[in-house]
Amino acid sequence: MTDRLLVLVRHGQSDWNLKNLFTGWHDVGLTPLGETEARRAGRELKARGLSFGIAFTSKLVRAERTLELVLEELGQPGLPTIRDAALNERGYGDLTGLNKDDARAKWGEQQVHIWRRSYDIAPPGGESLRDTGARVWPYYIHTIQPHVMRGERVLVAAHGNSLRALMMALEGMTPDEIIKLELGTGIPVIYRFNEDTTLAERVMLEAAA
């Protein structure tokens, strides 16, 4: 029986996550904790007996490094990998590089909350979650899903919002449901699919205590 499996992993903690800055498309690396989270994700997947046929990641180093560390722990450092900006984090436009507390002081708590958590309202010069989905969904359908349905076992390392946009489509979530979904750094989400591409199972691994 073909194992139509997809695993999503948000990158480990980045330098700007630690500093509470809006990151978006800015390229920053992982913190030591972020590297630990990535390696833990790889060990958790290995403990479940998982291996992969192909991997995808964004063109941002925090996701690329996370994937590299996960694959090291899996014993698959040479796995064929496709990098594409379609999987990049949501663009935060004028908010990029700002401390989130400073942004609240400048624009107000409510406005910043709307920019961060609404589905279709973008920050100045940036992307909404809907905008992010508009590039993630077609990429998944045309490029990633065919590998999944062939039973190749696919691993995707990307970002909180690009993965949330994808999860919204995979699980048929409403805008109200997706804006409430929190996706922790370095936490794998395992999907299995039926032959007709519908979702058979979702397992979100727990964060370490």
Q: Say which DSSP state 70 is in.
A: H
Bridge partners for 14 per DSSP: 30
> In the 8-state DSSP scheme, what is residue 12?
P
Which amino acid is present at 12? G
CA distance 4 to 100: 39
Instruction: List the strands of the sheet with 154-158, edge to edge.
Output: 81-83, 54-57, 154-158, 5-10, 188-193, 199-204
For residues 38 and 52, give the distance between their C-alpha atoms in angstroms, rounded to a whole number.
16
Tokens coding 44: 């958790």
**CB contact at 8 A, 192 and 4:** yes
The residue type of 206 is: E
Residues 141 and 152: beta-carbon distance below 8 Å: no
**In DSSP terms, which residues pair with 190 in a beta bridge?**
7, 203
Catalytic residues: 11, 89
